[in-house]
Structure 1
Amino acid sequence: MTDIVVVFHSAYGHTQRMAQAVARGAGAQLLAIDADGNLPAGGWELLKAADAIIFGTPTYMGSVSWQFKKFADASSKAWYAQDWKDKIAAGFTNSAGMNGDKQGTLTTLFTLAMQHGMIWVSQGLMPSQMRSARRDDVNYLVSYSGAIATSPADAGADAMAAGDLETARLFGERVAEIAARFQR
């Protein structure tokens, strides 16, 4: 069995709900970055022991939240020790806009993983791009490099699109399947 950790920051609950869907699909443990950008006690050890790490953050101003950035910067100790080298990695994000420059955030997560020498897992889902497509379809927002979701700024996490949450769950499943292939 693979140990998978979903490490994420969520300010308003939307990214947390997405993290829960990813974790459900992956059979993963959730590890929340707090409002000050810190991990709980034992968090770094949990990440070191994991076979796969899935990164999650809201997209603010075209990139990760400052809390996630603080976590990423603090991961330099793990980088120096090569603690995450050859682990499976993936990422997801959420923002209010349909586009919202989420690709910038996924690129930041990808770059973090590459600097750690990790192995990135793509979305692996076909897009929902036909005229008959509906907002609650899987991969309606069409992302290939990671899971993405859109949550209107004036709506709570309970109003997230079912298709985005199912996309996140399926993404978690894919990461778990890939991580199992790399099991030593």
Structure 2
Amino acid sequence: MKLSIVYYSQTGNTKKIAEVIKEGVEKSGNIQVKTMSIEDMDYKFLEESKAVIFGTPTYYATFSWQIKKWFDTCKECDLSGKLGAVFATENVLGGGADVAELSLIGHMLVKGMLIYSAGSSQGQPYTHFGAVCTKDGDEAQRDRARIFGERIGKKTLEIFD
């Protein structure tokens, strides 16, 4: 089973968190996971993935225009029926990551994805909309991102295995 982590990262912070989330997914079981920038996509792997986690830096309380452009122009990408999740990085606590995640989730719903955040159903740490890290995260934030990845991986296996 395959899971894609698709992100945009200008400074490298979002890429670093994508790799941390990948570590968590790999702990969840028999899933082949690949991180990829929207600028260097493996569309075959994406098409074969049962789940996709999208990551974005936060700009003015929304997700990056590069991710928005990708959603608007990637007509050949069929995301329908795939499990979807999101994560965001921000420069400062309270930088609008929740709003960015909700906006990104809206685009995913339009594409027909099934959205999962683990919410409070899995207990601490709670994930309301998706994982959030300030810059490349402190150790506690990176631990939460790893747990987030593991939970998304487990739910992918539960639904599609």
The answer to whether the superposition gives a TM-score over 0.5 is: yes
Aligned residues: 153
Select 2:80's aligned residue among 58, 82, 85. 85
Matched to 2:37, the amino acid is: A
CA distance in 2, matches of 1:143, 1:182: 19
CA shift for structure 1 position 182: 1.3
Is the partner of 2:95 in helix, strand or coil? coil
Over the aligned positions, Cα root-mean-square deviation in angstroms equals 1.7
Is the partner of 2:16 in helix, strand or coil? helix
Is the partner of 1:56 in helix, strand or coil? strand
2:141 corresponds in structure 1 to 164
1:23 corresponds in structure 2 to 22
Q: After TM superposition, what 4+ stretches of structure 1 lie above 6 angstroms from structure 2?
A: none
Matched to 1:19, the amino acid is: A
Q: Which has the larger radius of gyration?
A: 1
In structure 1, runs of 5+ residues without a counterpart are 128-138, 152-156
1:154 corresponds in structure 2 to none
2:150 corresponds in structure 1 to 173
Matched to 1:147, the amino acid is: A
Can you list the C-alpha shifts for 1:52-99, whole angstroms capped at 9, x where unaligned?
A: 000001001111112212212123333xxxx22111100000101211
- Please say if residues 123 and 147 of structure 1, whose CA atoms lie closer than 8 Å, have aligned partners that are also in contact: no
Is the partner of 1:182 in helix, strand or coil? helix
CA shift for structure 1 position 169: 0.7
Are 1:32 and 2:37 an aligned pair? yes
Alignment of 1:34-73 (within 5 A): 34=39, 39-40=40-41, 43-73=42-72
* Identity within the alignment, %: 27
2:30 corresponds in structure 1 to none
Matched to 1:22, the amino acid is: I
Change in Cα spacing, 1:16 to 1:29, as seen in structure 2 (3 Å) is same
Alignment of 1:105-116 (within 5 A): 105-116=100-111
CA shift for structure 1 position 12: 0.8
Is the partner of 2:117 in helix, strand or coil? coil
Q: Please, what TM-score do these two structures have when normalized by structure 2? A: 0.87
